[in-house]
Amino acid sequence: MRDGENASLTAKPWLTIVGLGEDGLAGLGDEAKQAIASARLVFGGARHLALAASLITGESCPWSSPFETAIDVVVAMAGMPVVVLASGDPFFHGVGVTLSRRIDPAQMRVLPAPSAFSLAAARLGWALQDVVCLSLHGRPLDLLRPHLHAGTRILALTSDGDGPGAVASLLRDSGFGASGFIVLEAMGGPQERVTRQTAARFDLADCHSLNVCAIEVIAGAEARILALSPGLADDLFEHDGQITKREVRALTLSALSPRRGEWLWDIGAGAGSIAIEWMLADPSLEAIAIEAHPERATRIGRNARALGVPSLRVVEGKAPEVLASLAGQRRPDAIFVGGGGSAPGVMAAALAALRPGGRLVANAVTTEMEAVLLACHAESGGSLTRIDIARAAPVGTMTGWRPAMPVMQWAFTKPLADAPDRDGEDLGNMQGVPA
């Protein structure tokens, strides 16, 4: 039973979530107005409460900080007539999503208004189904980067009046300064304003705090474009030579086989390229990059931001010791071992941590690591692949093939029968797993 759920409650919802636009009460239907007028408690931001003030007969309850505490208060009111005021569509990056985690949707009545994205598309005549809709409210602007492809249309909701200038700067500095850049402010209200410029020439002052940036992406000759396929160009990453090269990286990601909502450990992450491209495959994917070298760990963070996955978690530490500290958390769905895998206990700890049914991929360029992977294959099965890459290079006045170091790759799926009795089992006590 969810928090706030009570078997004695009738089927009639006690919580009404009302979406408000900048036009305030004028944009509400009779059902929403009646709900506000009859509510014992009305929760919302100061702006929302001010817009609805003439209808509120109960107690006005501004959101408190921290926000989770305010949600606790709403949950505690179960059974009473309560209204929560929200911006636009409460279930599109809105408070409705948060409330539904705590309150049974059967106890809610939701009366949405058009979202900021819907209003912007209507103003511009853009087909919303063909547009990238991105909330940057309280989130890093770097999340824009994977979507910057020529011809793409993006609607980005920003945090405040400084947001449009920051977005324009990111576009300009990344080689997309020629992109069409439209700022739509306070849509639906008396202060609505729509301004069309290019990102490079953006000079709009005093932007309203409620704004959406509409971007028609135009890529310059030096634009930093992140391809949709795995195996990004090596020069897109900062690195000191410790990086899984693009061809091997593409094959490695194929073997890791990312699926929606999964969690990756990248052990010995180097430049973080595997973890970063794993996360670029889908917004639902998460990863931890584990790196013993402090300078490389810092560099991974920079790469993650520059390549549009700022939420990549970087853990500085040496395997296998650092893996034990992660054992009590969510077990990984996939693990890549790129560096340090030949150290005693690393492969055993990685295999022990992997959830049943999860995938592990390990690459070897040294004979020592090859020996470890041969032992793993002999003990546990899986597949072994040898990857040989050669690149054309000058040979005197002619051209010849210069081979890269060959890579042995072991790919393994953990049998479901290997499930331990409990999550978070001490990795140092696992038996029967090759070191």
- Structural domains present in the chain: 15-113 (3.40.1010.10), 117-216 (3.30.950.10), 234-429 (3.40.50.150)
- Counting Cα atoms < 13 Å in the Cβ hemisphere of 77 gives 23
What's residue 265's pLDDT?
98
Predicted confidence band at 201 (pLDDT cuts at 50, 70, 90)?
A: very high
What's residue 65's pLDDT?
87
CA gap 161, 212 in Å, rounded: 10
For 186: left if phi > 0, alpha if psi spans -120 to 50, otherwise beta; the answer is left
Mean pLDDT across the stretch 194-209? 95
- Burial class from Cβ neighbours inside 10 Å (0-12, 13-18, 19+) for residue 422 reads exposed
CA gap 315, 158 in Å, rounded: 29
Predicted confidence band at 426 (pLDDT cuts at 50, 70, 90)?
A: very low
What is the 8-class DSSP label of residue 69?
A: H
The H or E element containing residue 105 is none
253 with 266: CB under 8 angstroms?
no
What is the 8-class DSSP label of residue 398?
A: E
Residue pLDDT, tens place only, 317-361 = 999 999 988 877 889 999 999 988 999 999 999 999 999 999 999
What's residue 418's pLDDT?
54
What's residue 235's pLDDT?
95
229 with 168: CB under 8 angstroms?
no
Residue 331: which residues within 8 A CB-CB, separation 6 or more?
A: 263, 353, 354, 355, 358, 423
Place of tokens 């194929």: 254
Residue pLDDT, tens place only, 2-21 = 544 444 444 589 999 999 99
285 with 262: CB under 8 angstroms?
yes
Residue 31: which residues within 8 A CB-CB, separation 6 or more?
A: 111
339 with 265: CB under 8 angstroms?
no
Helix axes 246-256, 273-280, angle to 10 degrees: 60
Strands (E), 144-223: 153-157, 180-185, 193-198, 211-216
Predicted confidence band at 197 (pLDDT cuts at 50, 70, 90)?
A: very high
Share the mean pLDDT of the chain: 92
406 with 388: CB under 8 angstroms?
yes
Residue pLDDT, tens place only, 242-276 = 999 999 999 999 999 999 999 999 999 999 999 99
pTM listed for this prediction: 0.87
